[in-house]
Structures are given as structure tokens and as C-alpha cells.
Amino acid sequence: MQIVVVRNAFTCILGAVVTNGCYYTGNIFSLRASPQQSLPELLTATLIWTVLSYCGVMLIAHVPSLMTQRFLGRPDYRPGVWFCMKKLMKGSIRYFAGSMGAMICLTVLVLHTSLMTKFFQFKLHFYLGDLCDLTFSAGIALAVRRIYYQETCEGRSRSLTVRDSVKHNPPPSHQTKRPKAAPTRRTASFWREYLRKLPSAVLVALAGGYVHAVSSYRILDRGQVVIVLFAVSTVLLKIGLQESAKWYIIKKGVQSIRTMCVLVGVPTVLIDTQTRILMVGTQTNTLLMIGTIGMAVVEVCTRSAKALAIIWTIRRQAKAVDEKLHQLSANTMQAEVARHMKRSPSSSSSPSPSSLQLEFDLWRRQVLSYHTAEQTADIYAEYISIGCSQSIMFWFAGHPYYPALKFNTTSTLSDLGAWRLGKFGLLVFQFVVQVLVDYICVVVEMAVGIEFDHIKGLSGFLGVLFMAMAVITINISATIYLG
């Protein structure tokens, strides 16, 4: 499993590095490096790159869902990546144009109003740009749905089944309404999808707000003690969010492992990336190495404690269920004796042994599934956060328009090049430490009875999920840190 995780993580990191490189180039038509470009010019390029990278990663993220289908025109052909990509591009081109047009209008608005001067520090261009990106999210969801129901064998079969059921069970005549015109229905469907996707845009805005707060506080300029305190507080914040997600999943009875991975992995990538940016940005490699080892020790202790707590909770619950079953068996025997003596029917309303056992099995499966999803998503998130933080600092350290990532020792190009080369070695060090941490934790978790078998089939989904998370993290950081 670990080999698959490292392979997918490396692919996600490569996507993050490429995205960061695009942001660093700024306006490619100016034929000048981004440090020599003006702030309005670089801001315009940044917003345009945001749309391009976001639409690109969303396009890639929806390809696997079509690769499992068989299309009506070629039912015996197994669709490949390029085949599905062309269909998605054809179905979503107008939404891409709408998203790009909205972002261009936003750029013009920002450049010609006080949003560029007086209110620039509030980063309103980021939050408004988030709504522009949402246009493509809603559009490509509609495109995938249309392709599925109109061009795939499974979708057409489901559509015909629903149509036949409606035909054989028509509604009462007094409830029949005149059908609406097609254009009205099409417009309403897009806006319904836009509103349905709105919570995801709110989450991105909250993530941007967190990065905005971190960058505004200028933690790198406040000394090593503040950096250490911030790292400790972010670890506690991450644990708190994970436990909150666990409470929500158990309370709502969520069974989808994919949903569990999303709830755990998304905040972990964002929080750990910002923490590691600060550690990489310190002027001493000693603090970075100590911080990396410290985070590794905390992760080993936390994951081992969680695994032991899960097994202890399951055993305690199993013991309680056995006691209930024994008690229920004794009560049943007493009821049978009383019924035969009094010859009256039993009126016991106690739950049956099978229902108690089934309820326990469902609870046990849900708890183990969440723990497995939590640890797998956490493993992915750690690798992605390492790659994203190193990529951000590699490209933007010492950049004149990224003051929150600027420090005194990189005043010349030669100093900056030497600093980047040294940080590359520390990147390898962080990866080696993380691989050892994951190996130790997986061995400990399997030794106490935690299994990872049912998560193996989600490697493709997790790869696509964290590819999107890596790109979105870069989008947020590159836009928010620009100042």
C-alpha cells in the first residue's frame, strides 16, 4: 500500500510544482521575469492562472468516472483517458468560457477600483474569484451528468427505466401541469447546480481566510518561539478537526469511505502546508530538522494511541453486547417457562439477538472504516503538504511581491540559489522521515488488529482527490501571499 501512496503523492506533488511554476512566470507575454513585472500585471496573470489551473484539475478529476463506463457508439471499447478528456472538454467548453470571462471582468474591476489600492489587503479578489471558479464546477458536473445519461449504456438504461416507470404509473390528472419551455429548464438546472456547489466554494473561502490570517500575521518575522508555538497550535487544531469529523460521521451514520477521506484529508493538507512553509522559511536548517522530527514523533504517538483506543473501544462494546445477549437468552428462557406454565402468549418487546449482533457489526465496521480512511488520508496529506510547502518556498522565497515569504539572507540571486539547493536536500530528508513514520505506524496498527484491505480499491480516487487538493492549495497560497 505504501508504494501506491508514494507514487500517487509524487504525481500530486509534480502537479503542484508545475502549477507553482506557472504562477511564478506571471504574464508570459511580457517576456520578463515576474520580479520585473508590475503588481497589477502580476495580479492579472495570477487570476488568469487560477482559472486555468482550477479548470484543468477539475477536468482531470472527472475523467476516472467516465473511464468505467461503456459508450453507446462503441459498447465493446474501453474508453481511455484521451477519449474521456475530449468528451469532457467538448461538454464543458462553454462553462470554461463563462468562468474565464467572469474572471476577466473581475480583474478589470479590481484594477480600476480601490480593490487594487485601499482594500487590496483584504484580498477580496481571491474571494470573488472563488465564485468565478464555481461556474466551471457547476458546469462540468452538468456535463458529466449529460454524458452519462445520453451517451453511456448504463446511463441510457437507467433513463429508460425511469421513463417506463413514469409511463406505467402516471400522476393523477389534477396534478398534471403544463411542461415548461426547454430554455427555462436548462437555465434553472445550471443555477440549481451552482447553488448545490456553493458550500464547496464556502470551504475554499474559509481555507483562504486561514491562509490570509497566517500571512497577515507575518509569523516568519516574529522569531523561532512564535513559529514553534504556531506549529504546536496547528497540530492541536488538526487533531480537533479530525475528531470533529469523526463525531459528525458517527452521529450522521456516514458509510461512504470517500466522504470520510475528504473530511479528514482536506483540512490536513491546508494546515500542514502552512506549518511546513514556516518551518522551511526559517533561516536555520536545525529548526526545520527538529520540527520535522518533532512532528514525526507526535504523529507516531497520536496514530498509535488512536489505534489502541479504537481496539479497546471495540472490545469493550463487544463485551457489552455479549452480556446483553446472555441476559436476553436468560430472559427468553424464563419467558418460555412462564408461558408454558400460564399458557399465555409472551408480550416481551426486547430486541432479538440477531438485531443486536447486526447493530454491533455495523457500528464496528463504521468505526474501523473511519479509522482506516482517516489514517490513509492523513498519510496522503502529509506527503502533499511537504511537496506543496517546498514548492511554494522554492518559487517564491525572496520574491519582491511576496513579502510574507521574504527574508534577509536571500538578498542576492546567488544566495537565493544556494538556499534553494540546501532546501532540496531537506526535502529529501522530510520524505525519508515521513516514509519511516508511515511504515512504523502501519506496522503498529496492523499488529493491534487494524486492517487496510477495504481501502486498497480507492487508490485512484485518493490520487485524484489529493491532486485537486494540491492544486487548490497552490492557488490559495499564490493568490493570498501576493501583496
Q: How does pLDDT run across 128-184, given as a tens digit for each residue?
A: 999 999 999 999 999 999 988 888 888 788 877 766 665 666 555 544 444 444 333
Spatial CA neighbour of 271 closest among 368, 382, 134, 114: 382
Binned at pLDDT 50, 70 and 90, residue 73 comes out as: confident
Query: In this structure, how many other beta carbons lie within 10 angstroms of the beta carbon of residue 384?
Result: 27
Q: Could you tell me which residue, 377 or 182, shows the higher pLDDT? A: 377
pLDDT recorded at residue 94: 94
Picking from 90-99, 212-221, 421-430, which range would have the lowest pLDDT averaged per residue? 421-430
- Please report, for the chain, the start and end positions of each structural domain, with discontinuous segments joined by +: 1-157+185-217, 220-451
Share of the chain above pLDDT 90, in %: 18
**pLDDT tens digits, one per residue of 305-337:** 888 888 888 888 888 878 787 777 777 766 666
Distance between CA atoms of residues 274 and 476, nearest Å: 11
Cα–Cα distances in angstroms (integers) from residue 480 to residues 123, 210, 430, in the given order: 7, 10, 26
**pLDDT tens digits, one per residue of 282-312:** 656 677 788 778 888 888 888 888 888 888 8
pLDDT recorded at residue 168: 60
pLDDT recorded at residue 177: 47
Interaxial angle between packed helices 257-280 and 182-217, expressed in degrees from 0 to 180 and rounded to the nearest 10 = 30
pLDDT recorded at residue 339: 64
Binned at pLDDT 50, 70 and 90, residue 248 comes out as: confident
Kindly state the DSSP code that residue 76 receives in the 8-state scheme: T
User: Do 444 and 307 touch, CB atoms closer than 8 A?
Assistant: yes
Distance between CA atoms of residues 303 and 381, nearest Å: 14
**pLDDT tens digits, one per residue of 179-208:** 444 333 344 488 898 899 898 889 889 888
Residues 205-230, mean pLDDT to the nearest whole number: 82
DSSP 164-222: HHHHHSPPPGGG--PPPPHHHHHHHHHHHHHHHHHHHHHHHHHHHHHHHHHHHHTGGGG
On the 0-12 / 13-18 / 19+ scale of CB atoms within 10 A, 411 is exposed
Say if residue 270's pLDDT is above 50: yes
Spatial CA neighbour of 384 closest among 431, 423, 420, 426: 431
User: Do 138 and 95 touch, CB atoms closer than 8 A?
Assistant: yes
**pLDDT tens digits, one per residue of 7-52:** 888 888 888 889 999 999 989 988 888 889 999 999 999 999 999 9
pLDDT recorded at residue 268: 80
Please tell me the chain's helix, strand, coil percentages from 3-state DSSP, rounded to the nearest 5.
85, 0, 15
**pLDDT tens digits, one per residue of 327-365:** 777 777 666 666 666 554 544 455 677 777 788 778 787
> In which element (H, E) is residue 427 found?
helix 413-447
- The per-residue pLDDT of the chain, averaged, comes to 80
User: Do 26 and 68 touch, CB atoms closer than 8 A?
Assistant: no
pLDDT recorded at residue 187: 43
pLDDT recorded at residue 342: 57
CA 464 to chain centre: 9
pLDDT recorded at residue 80: 86
Q: Could you tell me which residue, 213 or 276, shows the higher pLDDT? A: 213
Q: Which residues lie below 8 Å from residue 425, measured CB to CB, with a gap of 6+?
A: none
The pTM (predicted TM-score) of the whole model is: 0.82
pLDDT recorded at residue 178: 47
Residues 254-268, mean pLDDT to the nearest whole number: 77
pLDDT recorded at residue 127: 93
Distance between CA atoms of residues 309 and 357, nearest Å: 22
User: Do 427 and 386 touch, CB atoms closer than 8 A?
Assistant: yes
